Amino acid sequence: MLYGLKQTREIEDRIENKLYKQGLVYGGVYTSKGQEAISIGSIHAFRPDDVICPSHRDMGVFLTRGMSKERILGHYLGKVTGPSKGKDGNLHTGDINLGLISFISHLADNIPVATGVSLSFKLRKQNRVAAVYFGDGASSRGDFHEAVNFAAVHKLPIVFFCNNNQYAYSTPLEHQMAVDGVSERAKGYGFPTLKVDGNDLLAVYRASVEAVDRARSGQGPSLIESMTFRMTGHSGHDDASYVPPELFEEWAQKDPIENFTNFLLERNLITPTEIKKIDERVEAEIEAALQDALHQADPNPESTLTDVYASPPYHAEVPTWKKTPEDRIQIDSLEPAPLLETSSPPDKGEITYVEAINKALEEELDHDPDVFLLGEDIGTYGGAFKVTKGLLDRFGPERVIDAPIAEAEIVGAGIGAALQGMRPVLEMQFIDFISCGFDQITNFAAKSKYRWGAQVPLVVRGPCGGGVNGGPFHSQNVESYFLHTPGLKIVAPATAEDAHGLLKAAIRDDDPVLYFEHKYLYRRVRGYLPGSGTVAELGKAAIRRPGKDLTIITYGAMVYRALEAAQELEKDGASIEVLDLRTLLPLDVESILESTARTSKVILLHEATLTGGLGGELAALISEHAFEYLDGPLRRIAGPDTPVPFCKPLEDYFLPQVCDIKRVARELLDY
């Protein structure tokens, strides 16, 4: 432990006072000077197969868990041999093989993720424990409260470590909370909390052993608040002028390394000679590691483009696409992709869109024991739209888990479980509520593969779209929120077959997938499903109706309005092609460009609002890569730039209608 304390202090001193000040470290540096006893005292209470979610001030955890000094220093120097290969800095990294989950800048995001790790242990009946470290400042975020509540409700095997260094950046405790510390905040959640002297290594160790034993024996979570002090500013560039000088003087007398050294000397547990040998060993090891790191290679600039996805998307990059008019696919050779009739009565063997989703969930739960469902009211009630009806009865409460109203926790827990190799399917009661989990999706799930090589195979699904008078908070189409986030995949099925096959594909995919099911289609669309082993392919569009005069590119519920408009326009002699995108990220670029080349006129149709919608991205794509085939301007039809209104006359005005499509199509056909 003394060696651990000393190597932690020394390596951070080298990073901050030498490498950082010499301009060799990119970005900021955040050290644990003065609070090393928390990391070293606590980490020794865990077994190697336990999983740790450290913070950016837990260098001692990384070193003790086995991340080499060479890798750590290479990471700070942005070298290719660092765990992030230069793609992230300071201690924003991890290593699944060492049981280390990466921290991110958004404080408290790692806390829900840690509960997901511990949930995976419970579901798999593994005698393992998770731990998560965070500061006093992070305890003010909702993610903290959602996570500790979830852990308490499910009696998860997890220990929460609050490293209370009394300042959230520059904000002192009295401006953060009206109670005496974070442990007081946590008491109301129904599990033990303990406040200890964070500069007393043995006090931290004893408390950690007690909490870990409690978690491992099935008694649930604990929170340990270690009171300490940050003997530097928030980061390397911060002079901490906001801290009264007397506080530095007071806490300098409580230095954890000096205290522990004196403890050992006073009890004749170590000699000055042995201490000197430890110092020499630490100095020599860090110097050797530093020289190694300084000579490591810089990453290839083009590696910026790699490791965004675990399973590379179909057409991840726009192809070099040039075809002569003679190369155009002839309409006579095209067959429309299967599309269900929306008006015919249900025949034997038919299944609705919502039943198709339920069937896919049932099949995947049956197919893979690592698949589980997590969401609000999905168990006994079967979900707000009965999508999960009957699944609890078959698979039980450990596979179909009712969650509190806490979307950030639902997504964060899913991420943690996915990082342990499970395949969670997370329901948003309405897709509008996904905004509460936006941070976890875009900053943790989507970036993990890129930053530290960790796969996050999860699905976030839920009902989207209008047509049911849900109003501004229950009728949105939110795909544009996420289209700008590399690392995600986005699915928007229009048919019952796709609702089934694409959901199965999403669950089996190794990347985070957002699955937007249109609620208007739930019980209006019917079809016949293939066998349970059939899985669709993400990233491929479908021609729902071949045509030669004009293409309508769309997805979701708008597919049916496009088909109705095309059928009516056929009476005027117009041949309209309808291309259903099916997957929005990645796009099937080849099919988009081929259809453009075939008809030379294109309408881009979507239900979401116009500005910033997918139609603008499609227009840019076509303009850049198939401009010479266009015989008219690209036209967009979308919802107006307003929230989705509630009453039927207003919502009908908001949603693109068949008459709108026919009007724009005729204008474009006459161009």
Q: Answer yes or no: is pLDDT of 345 > 50.
A: no
DSSP state of 347: P
The pLDDT value given to residue 601? 98
Residues 6 or more apart from 422 whose CB is under 8 A from it?
A: 120, 123, 124, 370, 371, 372
DSSP state of 550: E
pLDDT tens, position by position, 67-96: 999 999 999 999 999 999 999 988 999 999
Provide the residue type at 594 as one letter. Answer: E
Distance CA 635, CA 606 (A): 12
DSSP state of 587: -
pLDDT tens, position by position, 4-55: 999 999 999 999 999 999 999 988 899 999 999 999 999 999 999 999 999 9
Q: Answer yes or no: is pLDDT of 623 > 60.
A: yes
Q: Which of 92, 154, 474, 625 is catalytic?
A: 474
Mean pLDDT within 331-349: 52
Q: Do domains 2-302 and 542-669 have the same CATH topology?
A: yes
Distance CA 522, CA 463 (A): 9
CATH class, range 542-669: alpha beta
Provide the residue type at 75 as one letter. Answer: H
Q: What percent of the chain has pLDDT over 70?
A: 95
Identify whether 518 is a catalytic site residue. no
The pLDDT value given to residue 314? 58
The pLDDT value given to residue 347? 44
The pLDDT value given to residue 327? 53
pLDDT band at 659 (very low <50, low <70, confident <90, very high): very high
The pLDDT value given to residue 229? 94
DSSP state of 513: E
Domain ranges of the chain: 2-302, 351-527, 542-669
DSSP state of 101: P
Shortest CA distance to 538 belongs to which of 508, 558, 517?
508
Domain 351-527 = CATH 3.40.50.970: yes
The pLDDT value given to residue 27? 81
Tokens of 342: 């929306």
**Residue 566 vs residues 448, 460, 500, 606, 662: alpha-carbon distances, Å:** 43, 33, 26, 16, 8
The pLDDT value given to residue 318? 57
Shortest CA distance to 470 belongs to which of 648, 608, 640, 655?
648
Cα 473 to chain centroid, rounded: 22
Q: 28 vs 1, which has greater pLDDT?
A: 1
**Bond into 424 cis (ω within 30):** no
pLDDT tens, position by position, 496-554: 999 999 999 999 999 999 999 999 999 999 998 877 678 999 999 999 999 999 999 99
Give the sign of the dihedral formed by CA 263, CA 268, CA 271, CA 274: negative
Q: Answer yes or no: is pLDDT of 334 > 60.
A: no
DSSP E strands in 440-573: the ranges are 459-464, 489-491, 513-518, 526-527, 542-545, 550-554
- Out of 1.10.1740.10, 3.40.1160.10, 3.40.50.970, 3.40.50.300, which CATH number does the structure's domain 2-302 have? 3.40.50.970
Tokens of 334: 């095209």
Q: Answer yes or no: is pLDDT of 464 > 80.
A: yes
The pLDDT value given to residue 236? 87
Mean pLDDT within 143-162: 97
| Mean pLDDT value across the chain | 93
Global pTM reads 0.94
Shortest CA distance to 558 belongs to which of 603, 612, 596, 588?
603
Q: What percent of the chain has pLDDT over 90?
A: 90
Is the distance from CB of 73 to CB of 24 less than 8 angstroms? Answer: no
DSSP state of 459: E
pLDDT band at 319 (very low <50, low <70, confident <90, very high): low
The pLDDT value given to residue 346? 41
Helix (H, G, I), strand (E, B) or coil at 527: strand
Angle at 107 between CA 102 and CA 113, to 5 degrees: 50
Give the position of tokens 């904000």. Answer: 171
pLDDT tens, position by position, 247-301: 999 999 999 999 999 999 999 999 999 999 999 999 999 999 999 999 999 999 9
Task: Judge residue 190's burial from the number of C-beta atoms within 10 Å of its C-beta, 0-12 exposed, 13-18 middle, 19 or more buried.
Answer: middle
Give the position of tokens 């230069």. Answer: 86
Distance CA 349, CA 336 (A): 22
DSSP E strands in 349-412: the ranges are 351-352, 371-375, 400-402
Angle at 31 between CA 28 and CA 32, to 5 degrees: 160
Q: Answer yes or no: is pLDDT of 240 > 60.
A: yes
